[in-house]
Amino acid sequence: MPSILDRFRLDGRVAIVTGASRGLGAAMARALAEAGADVVLVARGDLAEVERGIAAAGRRCAAVAADVGDPAAAARVVEAAYAAFGRADILVNNAGIIRRAPLLEFSEQDWRDVLAVNLDGPFRLSQRFAAALAARGRPGKIINVASMLSFQGGVRVASYTAAKSALAGLTRAMANELAPLGINVNALAPGYMATDNTAALRADAARHQAILDRIPAGRWGTPEDLQGATVFLAAPASDYLHGHILAVDGGWLAR
């Protein structure tokens, strides 16, 4: 029986991380590399800094320029992983965008753009990734990045709330079907994190303080706060966890 610390190791595994160029995705990619995985970095932005971090951890990486909202992206990403490393064991569906506007003014374009990246992309990529594992009879891990708005309604973010609520449901649905194949599907639900997506909230002094006042931990989260939970959901230590939405929120939901 491996030691408990060994069950958190990812040696020999390959992880795909979308939205990996900055913020949460970059931090999760580095954590997976530090735990022993080689990493396929997927993003529209510059990946050079993250690539350097992976190399500093002593792991290999491959960069894929892709917009996960593009229906053709899923096949390209999975094919790139197998071309670079001959396998893919872990998928982190992190890429996401947000659009803010009052409900009565919310545009059709903002609705469709957010759902394409935040919901359609994870569905297509998970389907392609799981099919490749099933064809080879291999186990694997899918980690979706949900949100506090998987549990709550929010304001001025109709498409984001819809997508993240649906992603929580999709996580459970996929877990039901993929667990018998040895594929774990779970999700992380970050709390209010200091990233580009929350820049507008943090710039609004009243909104910033209202959010901070509700967080029992007394601070906004950082991308590094997700690293331990990411490694746990990717590692053998979580092999009996299926369909769970793990909130990493400083106590927000408990308030």
List the strands of the sheet with 140-145, edge to edge. Answer: 61-65, 38-43, 14-18, 90-93, 140-145, 183-190, 245-248
CA angle 208, 209, 214 (to 5 degrees): 105
Q: Active-site residue 160, yes or no? A: yes
Alpha helices in 86-147 (DSSP H): 108-115, 121-136
**Token pair recorded at residue 227:** 């690293």
| Among 82, 160, 192, 240, the one annotated catalytic | 160
Q: What DSSP character marks residue 59?
A: -
Distance CA 138, CA 196 (A): 36
CA-nearest of 18, 71, 70 to 40 is: 18
SS (H, E, C) 135-152: HHCCCEEEEEECCHHHCC
Task: Tell me how far apart the terminal alpha carbons of the chain are, to the nearest angstrom.
Answer: 39
Distance CA 131, CA 228 (A): 28
CB environment 19-35: b (16+ within 10 A), e (fewer)? bbbbbbbbbbbbbbbbb
For the annotated catalytic residues, the residue numbers are 160
